[in-house]
Amino acid sequence: MIRSIPSTLRAGTADLPVVPPWMQAWCILFLGPILVWVETRMSRSVLSRCADHPLVHLGIRYDPSVVVDACASFHADVSGPGAPITFTIEQLVRAEIVRVWAESCSDRDLEWLLTTNFVVRWFVGISLFAPQIPDHTTLARFNTWMRQHAPDAWFRDVLRFLGQVDPEDAATTPQILDTFGMAAPVAWPPRTANLLLALCDDLIRHWQSDAPRTVQRAIPPLVLGPIRHPPHYLDAVERQALLVQAVGLSQHLHACLTPYLSHVALARRRTISRILDALVKVIADDVKFDGSGYPTERPKDEKGHYRIGSATDLDATFRQHDDDLTLGYNVAIATTGTRIVAAVVRTGATPDSEAPATLLRQQIAAGQVLPAHVIMDRAAGWGKCRAQVDVISEGQTMQVALIPPAGGADPNRFGPASFHLNADRTACTCPHGVVTTRIAPKRNAEGLTARYLARDCQGCPFWTGCRGEQGKPKAQRTIFFTDHHAYLRQAAVFNQTPEGRALLARRWQVEPTVAWLTRYQGCRRARCLGQDAAQFQVFQACAMRNLLLWLNRQQRGRAVAAA
């Protein structure tokens, strides 16, 4: 006897108990009202026991009708094999909300939740006795459509909703900014030779499928086996030989296919052109040539910036943060004490110092009111970053951050912020009060250099703090002032004021939000390939974070109750 299967589900068991025919006819006659009664009784019992469940609260208090309207054309746009999708747009939108609540789960996990979880079925609007539910293919098609056509619809609607039920003055509420890495769903990058061969394989596949037959001859006769399945060499000599072959093949394919690229339809040409550009970039970043044109792989510290690390996801680049190296994306968020107001996903090699500018541009494009202050760590403390914020906001927003030391300098030594450059930029005063007029523009840089000779610093009590313990007695001291040095001087004064210290003390408020997104919402790793997919995933996660934070504030009596 198989004890793991309930007796009512074993083969040969009757579906219904043996009852008289007249009773079966009576039950069939009133089956509809009976099922409604049973479902209503079960709903009351379950929902009363799960009254504190987030989906129960959202199902009662939040109406996603604006998002439903934004996705109204889904049925018309989606066509293909199989039966047409009969589920309503609202059901599919609510299913996406459940996906995000379930930590950005997969399509099959979402299908399982819709099948087994009564609270989820109630929230989505699927009857307990419904014969069908959205399967994983339907859920995947809607997710893809929403990512392409309405990626920020739910995020914007949540901000609009919170503006009604828990308003805050955007102009006077400071925003705290931070960044975190998001890994792309690809394997760890291979060697340069394998990366080039993978790109060549993709190029050949797309050319054979997308290019017209008249230009198929542009591909030279090749044995595709070694390209698609390159050997795994352990010997350095064999690896070098594979690199030479990969570089030669890449350059040959680029030279053969580029002249015929205009024959390919425009919609399909973009993918092929992008792979061709990727081949050129990988060779430029990771390969160097000697005088005879012989290629070798560049050392790690000589490789280019914004390096492509995967043929599967060309948007992903390397993000170096302390000792953590991530192949993927650099996510920047702007949050207040109550909600996330902006989220931008850039490729991984994007510097953290660009976060304030990109976040402000997103808010301007969305028609949001800019704050008076944005707060971030030292990465945004440079003068150039402060100038960008001032220009983009037209003087409305001020960047608040600690002033970083000079690039590459010892943080224990005096930097440019410790020196004072006069308004005419003709004289510089050091911390000891010594003035120098040896000021000149620096070549290939936006700024000036001030010089102190060794005799100017003799007997200075700040010698060690200015020149360091390894400073030579006869060496000169140079200080570089960028063209944005005035912003640094202004920040140095503001950071010492009570308002400045109070704003800097609030920077920790962004850390719980970053921890929640990365630990509990799946934002440490992208679900799908591409920067657009990562941006959509972050938008969805931020919307759920805002709603859950609002529910928490409401339970603590800190938010206005929704009507």
In this structure, are 218 and 142 located in the same domain?
no
> Which residues lie below 8 Å from residue 391, measured CB to CB, with a gap of 6+?
none
| Single residue among 258, 280, 302 that ends a domain in this structure | 302
| Single residue among 302, 331, 359 that ends a domain in this structure | 302
Compute how many other C-beta atoms are within 10 angstroms of the C-beta atom of residue 552: 12
In this structure, are 121 and 218 located in the same domain?
no
- Inside any domain, residue 251: yes
Q: Report phi then psi at 78, rounded to 5.
A: -95, 120
Per-residue pLDDT of the chain (563 residues; tens, 9 = 90+): 445 556 555 556 666 567 777 776 767 766 667 666 666 777 777 777 888 889 989 988 999 999 999 999 887 666 666 566 778 999 999 999 999 999 888 999 999 999 988 889 889 988 877 778 889 999 999 999 999 999 999 999 999 999 999 999 999 999 999 999 999 999 877 788 999 999 999 999 999 999 999 898 888 888 888 888 888 877 888 889 999 999 999 999 999 999 999 998 888 899 999 999 999 999 999 999 988 889 988 888 788 888 998 999 999 999 988 778 889 999 999 999 899 999 999 999 999 999 999 999 999 999 999 999 999 998 898 888 999 999 999 999 999 999 887 644 566 778 787 888 888 888 999 988 999 999 988 876 678 889 999 888 888 888 888 887 777 888 889 888 888 878 888 898 899 999 999 999 999 999 999 999 999 888 999 999 999 999 999 999 999 999 999 999 988 877 765 44
Place of tokens 């945004």: 380
> Which residues lie below 8 Å from residue 273, measured CB to CB, with a gap of 6+?
261
In this structure, are 138 and 201 located in the same domain?
no
- Inside any domain, residue 466: yes
- Inside any domain, residue 468: yes
In this structure, are 145 and 44 located in the same domain?
yes
- Inside any domain, residue 354: no
In this structure, are 140 and 235 located in the same domain?
no
- Inside any domain, residue 112: yes
Place of tokens 């997104």: 517
- Inside any domain, residue 248: yes
Alpha-carbon distance of 346 to 352, in angstroms, equals 10
In this structure, are 425 and 479 located in the same domain?
yes
Which pTM does this prediction carry?
A: 0.85
In this structure, are 276 and 212 located in the same domain?
yes
CA atoms within 13 A on the CB side of 151: 16
**83: containing domain:** 39-150
- Inside any domain, residue 236: yes
In this structure, are 212 and 144 located in the same domain?
no
Secondary structure class of 471 (helix, strand, coil) = coil
Distance of CA 285 to the CA centre of its chain: 24
The tokens describing 2, both together, are 């198989």
- Inside any domain, residue 9: no
In this structure, are 145 and 43 located in the same domain?
yes
Domain total in the chain = 3
| Single residue among 493, 519, 548 that ends a domain in this structure | 493
